[in-house]
Amino acid sequence: MLKLPRILVVEDDEIDILNMERVFRRNNVLNALEFARNGSEALSKLESVEFRRSGPLAVIMDLNMPKMGGLELLRRIRQNPELDGIPLVVFSTSDEEEDLAEAFRYHPTAYFVKALAQERFQEDILSVLKLINLSRHPRC
């Protein structure tokens, strides 16, 4: 049986975190969830061998964060051969062409623009989860 990937959510906005947790809870999401508040914290977790050994992994990440933003995190993950196979979904408020073009230089699995309306936000999170759970990726 396929094990669902753990999801590392990299997000600094407390309201978005609470909204995501609500969506996960209301929809009985079975994926194990972990959170990081910025790119530096996320990279530390991802570079930990113990963290990666505990099963398949996927990342949902914002772009605009303190300490290390999402674009830098995306670049560093994709340049690290031990992390490169991890599915990365950008989930950001930015719909700027420049951010989109820069993100796609590092091949995210997908790029979603966060909706302000709660119903659409939930639909987008559920789409991200479906994408992550239906995709097949190498174990990282």
DSSP string, 45-79: HHH-HHHHHTS-EEEEE-S--SSS-HHHHHHHHHT
How far is 61 from 38, CA to CA, in rounded Å?
9
- pLDDT for residue 18: 93
Which pLDDT value is given to residue 139? 52
The predicted pLDDT at position 45 comes to 93
What residue spans of the chain are helical by DSSP H? 14-26, 39-47, 49-53, 70-78, 97-104, 118-134
Q: Is the pLDDT of residue 1 over 60?
A: no
pLDDT at 116: 79
Q: Note the pLDDT tens digit of each residue in 31-82.
A: 888 999 999 999 999 999 888 777 778 999 999 998 999 999 999 999 999 8
pLDDT in tens, 76-109: 999 999 898 899 999 999 999 999 999 999 999 9
Q: Which pLDDT belongs to residue 4?
A: 81
Structural domains in the chain, CATH included, are 8-134 (3.40.50.2300)
Per-residue pLDDT at 138: 55
pLDDT for residue 118:
81
Q: What is the pLDDT of residue 119?
A: 84
Could you tell me if 70 and 108 are in contact, meaning their C-beta atoms sit under 8 angstroms apart? Answer: no
Query: CA-to-CA distance for 60 and 34, rounded, in angstroms?
Result: 10
pLDDT attached to residue 79 = 94
Q: How far is CA 131 from CA 4, 12, 87, 124, 137, in A?
A: 12, 23, 10, 10, 11
Predicted confidence at residue 2, as pLDDT, reads 58
What one-letter code names the amino acid at 57? L
